[in-house]
Amino acid sequence: MMTRRLIVIGGDAAGMSAAAQARRMAPADALEIVAFERGSRTSYAACGLPYLIGGLVESPDRLVARTPEQHRANGIDVRICHEVLAIDVKAATVTVRDLDKGQETDMHYDELLIATGASGIVPPWPGIDAEGVLQLRTLDDAAEVERRIGAGARRAVVVGAGYIGLEVAENLLARGLEVTVMERLDAPMGAVLDADMAAAVADAMREAGVDLQLGTAVTGFTVTDGHVSAVQTAAGSVAADLVLIGLGVRANVELARAAGMEVGEAGGIVVDEQQRTHTPHVWAAGDCVESRHRVTGRAVVVALGTHANKQGRVAGTNIAGGEASFGGVLGTAITKFQDLEIARTGLTEREAEAAGLDAFGVITEASSRAHYYPGGQSMRIKIVAERQTGRMLGAQIVGGQGAGKRIDVLATALWNKMSLDEVGGMDLSYAPPFSPVWDPVLLAAGKAAAKL
């Protein structure tokens, strides 16, 4: 039997999920697996980085699910500090640089998986390269934040009030820093929530002591002796000795594009449901690809670890000769700011309108527990639905403990295209410590159905 070679570019969630799945399914004499990672770590949970800087996670090693040595022991030839510089799809080779030795080599592949992830958006603002202006994307970034806090940084400005901005702000506050969050839009979480749901997030941030500056566009940084000393905006400047940029991400598609692969309008590598690109024997997964949105049917790039892991597993299964498909995305996501849980699935009302749908939104206020049982937390649930058909398009939840994960019930309903009536009548669990007799999800679906 000929041994085929799978080359994986990118040693994190998507790449190593694919490699591990292919390894499980195909014996080593049938499939050799070589994974190139330009960094020095593999399979680390970027999702845990904010909690590492906040001190909830005690060491960087806790965020590493599998080290390069563990992958090697599992039969995957992981080469860290190796950057893939080019792909030649005709010759079926990749050009790789060993970053330690500075040597370049070409290696042949029978199957290639591109899992190069995404990079943070960094606008060309004056002073952006100053020391102390950072992103939080890798363990090295977290170490740098830690070093600067250790060196006496006290005033932090977070640019962007999306998920990562919020999580970073919460954790810098926990470390005792003064935190300003600057956001160009008029509400935090503007890409995630409708404004009528985001107000509670703004309130929580301000109550916690964050100087939340909405409608504030950053124009540049004041740099003193090479180090950031203030953030400039149209309204004036704010002193800072640490700046964290959290402005979203862009898929890393340069290698694929240069090799002639198709990059879609949403900005990711185009793949089918098996994670196959249009180029024979080349697969792609994770933050670098486009996925199908299950509500709009459109191609989108949704950079989340949950998709990267699943897509990697699908790619690994198919590469090893099995059969698996990725079912698409709803953009289901959850985060928190201190005690406030924030979650969404599907489309916001604004997104639905932008997609040309005739949508309406209904907000329901409810409690997480029976009214007589102590400790109930209030929550707001917004259901977004299409006026003509009555189909659910999306949902958002903002509330206290026990609110956020309720989004998964609504995501399940949305995934399965259930009607609002069906959702309102579902058999959900009830006991006073966990919910009122009508769970907030049932109430919200019923209230939205009544508007049809």
Ligand X SMILES: Cc1cc2nc3c(=O)[nH]c(=O)nc-3n(C[C@H](O)[C@H](O)[C@H](O)COP(=O)(O)OP(=O)(O)OC[C@H]3O[C@@H](n4cnc5c(N)ncnc54)[C@H](O)[C@@H]3O)c2cc1C
Residues lying near ligand X in the complex (CB under 6 A) are found at 9-15, 36-39, 46-47, 49-50, 83-84, 115-118, 136-137, 164, 252, 255, 286-287, 303-306, 308
- Nearest approach, Cβ of residue 424 and ligand X (Å): 29
Rounded CA-CA distance 417/234 in Å is 46
- Nearest approach, Cβ of residue 188 and ligand X (Å): 16
Longest dimension (CA), the chain: 70
- Nearest approach, Cβ of residue 229 and ligand X (Å): 25
Contacts of 43 (CB under 8 A, 6+ apart): 11, 12, 13, 16, 64, 65, 66, 67, 71
The dihedrals phi and psi of 135, each to the nearest 5 degrees, come to -120, 165
> Is the Cβ of residue 7 or residue 218 nearer to ligand X in the bound state?
7
- Nearest approach, Cβ of residue 372 and ligand X (Å): 35
- Sheet holding 4-9: strands in order across? 77-80, 31-37, 4-9, 111-114, 282-284
> Is the Cβ of residue 336 or residue 369 nearer to ligand X in the bound state?
336
Rounded CA-CA distance 362/381 in Å is 8
> Is the Cβ of residue 8 or residue 359 nearer to ligand X in the bound state?
8
> Is the Cβ of residue 317 or residue 367 nearer to ligand X in the bound state?
317
From the candidates 47, 324, 333, 363, which is the catalytic residue? Answer: 47
Contacts of 306 (CB under 8 A, 6+ apart): 332
- Nearest approach, Cβ of residue 149 and ligand X (Å): 16
Contacts of 35 (CB under 8 A, 6+ apart): 7, 8, 9, 10, 11, 15, 16, 19, 42, 71, 76, 77, 78, 79
- Nearest approach, Cβ of residue 235 and ligand X (Å): 28
CA angle 256/257/263 to nearest 5° reads: 95
Burial of 172 (0-12, 13-18, 19+ CB in 10 A): buried
> Is the Cβ of residue 36 or residue 337 nearer to ligand X in the bound state?
36
Rounded CA-CA distance 347/332 in Å is 9
- Nearest approach, Cβ of residue 310 and ligand X (Å): 10
Helix (H) or strand (E) holding 173: helix 163-174
Rounded CA-CA distance 258/62 in Å is 36
Show the tokens assigned to 277: 């690109």
Answer yes or no: are the C-beta atoms of 47 and 57 closer than 8 Å: no
State whether residue 150 is helix, strand or coil. helix
Q: How many residues does this entry show for the chain?
A: 452
Q: Catalytic annotation on 288?
A: no
> Is the Cβ of residue 136 or residue 362 nearer to ligand X in the bound state?
136
> Is the Cβ of residue 36 or residue 326 nearer to ligand X in the bound state?
36
Q: Which residues are annotated as catalytic? A: 47
